[in-house]
Amino acid sequence: MPKSKIKGVGFYVPDNVIKNSDLEEIMDTSDEWIQERTGIKERRWVEGDLTTSLMGTYASKIAIKNAKISKNDIDFIIFATLSPDYFFPGSGVLLQKNLQIKEVGALDIRNQCSGFIYGLSVADQYIKSGMYENILVVGSEIHSGGLDKSSRGRSVSVIFGDGAGAAIVSKSNDESEILSTHLHSEGKFADELAVIKPATTFWIDKIIDDDEEDGKGFFPKMNGNFVFKNAIKRFEEVIFESLNHNNYTSKDIDMLITHQANLRISQYIQKKLNIDDNNIFNNIMSYGNTTAASIPIALYEALEKNKIKRGDLVCLAAFGSGFTWASALIRW
């Protein structure tokens, strides 16, 4: 059976840096609170006419270059985002247009923070089945346009940042391989972290009459403590699931990259798994929580800093809205 590997990674973040002190000026918050509760020092928020699909396009160009393939070699596009350019069509086809890729299939994934690993899993299965050889997997998000930037939204809006990451997943002819992926969801908690409008249940004509005045439903709503407690439980479970499946223990992990939701969550997982500082990579301090983009952005930076080398055992894990959670174990 063919096996797959990550052949190249790319990322793009907007130039516009928003420091915690910038947020102090627009809402009732403090640098101290944000750093203590989340680890975040700054994040990027788009300016001008940058879009989710455009950022994904820039990240993809770098991934294609690093994979040493041509855009004409791409057989399929997978685009993970919770903040698409349009309500429809999806961002995959927009990226295809931007990159001027031939008429291959383009699939959008709506799995929030877990979107990139879900995408990786789909790509892995297509390659294992022999259907495709090179798949572009993208995670890209623009949160800044949809946040409640008043004090009312402070518990959510200080967390999120904009950015994009991309990976080329290809048929592997060497020792590198995606060993396994593990996907989960628990829809009964869908409303615990959600943006519910606009949607077919709150269609535009109803919205205008309803609660337009306070924007209820349009801004992200998060039951932060509840999400936090579920996150630490599910991260641990799904990481162990991937290790057990492949007969490894947490001592075998050379690099752990968790979705960058909150530095306290990553540190909790690190402690639980007894992982050394050298074997985990966090960059939430610089970019905030970029949901589907956070793992490929962190992966890119860890590679850039030579923290991952050939043959390493790399574990990726995510948890987020849905709830959805997932992991991938990779022999790099």
Q: Which residues are catalytic?
A: 113, 259, 289
- Give the C-alpha separation, 89 to 105, whole Å: 13
Regarding 161 and contact with ligand UT7 (CB under 6 A), the answer is no
Could you say whether residue 189 binds ligand UT7 (CB under 6 A)?
no
In the numeric block, which tokens belong to residue 94? 């927009």
Q: What's the CA angle centered on 141, arms 35 and 292, to 5 degrees?
A: 80
Stretch 252-271: interaction string toward ligand UT7, x if CB under 6 A: ---------xx--x------
**Which tokens in the block code for residue 163?**
């950015």
Residue that has been written with the tokens 């069509």 in this structure: 89
Which window, 28-36, 199-207, 210-218, 275-283, contacts ligand UT7 (CB under 6 A)? 28-36
Concatenating the DSSP letter of every residue in 203-269 gives: -HHHHHHTTGGGTTTTS-EE-HHHHHHHHHHHHHHHHHHHHHHTT--GGG-SEEEE--S-HHHHHHH
Smallest gap, in angstroms, from Cβ of residue 84 to ligand UT7? 18
Name the residue nearer to ligand UT7 (CB basis): 30 or 129.
Answer: 30
**134-141/76-80 β-pairing:** parallel
The span of 89-97, 128-136, 209-217, 226-234 binding ligand UT7 (CB under 6 A) equals 226-234
- Which residue in the set 43, 154, 197, 234 belongs to the binding site for ligand UT7 (CB under 6 A)? 154
Within 286-315, which residues bind ligand UT7 (CB under 6 A)? 289
Minimum CB separation of residue 168 from ligand UT7 in Å reads 25
- 141 contacts 83 by C-beta, under 8 angstroms: yes
Is 29 a residue that touches ligand UT7 (CB under 6 A)?
yes
122 touches ligand UT7 by CB under 6 A? no
51 in contact with ligand UT7 (CB under 6 A): no
Nearest distance, CB of residue 286 and ligand UT7, angstroms: 16
Residue 81 in the binding site for ligand UT7 (CB under 6 A) = no
Q: Which of 119, 121, 165, 137 is nearest to 302 (CA)?
A: 165
Q: Is 156 helix (H, G, I), strand (E, B) or coil?
A: helix
Nearest to 120 by CA among 324, 296, 303: 296
For ligand UT7, give the closer residue by CB, 41 or 245: 41
Distance separating alpha carbons of residues 296 and 33, to the nearest angstrom: 27
- Tell me the number of residues near ligand UT7 by CB under 6 A: 20
228 belongs to the binding site for ligand UT7 (CB under 6 A):
yes
- Residue pair 289/147 in contact (Cβ under 8 Å)? The answer is no
Closest distance of CB 164 from ligand UT7, Å = 16
Closest distance between ligand UT7 and the C-beta of residue 233, in Å?
11
- The single-letter DSSP state of residue 111 is -
Positions touching ligand UT7 (CB under 6 A) are 29-30, 33, 37-38, 113, 154-155, 158, 224-225, 227-228, 231, 261-262, 265, 289, 319-320
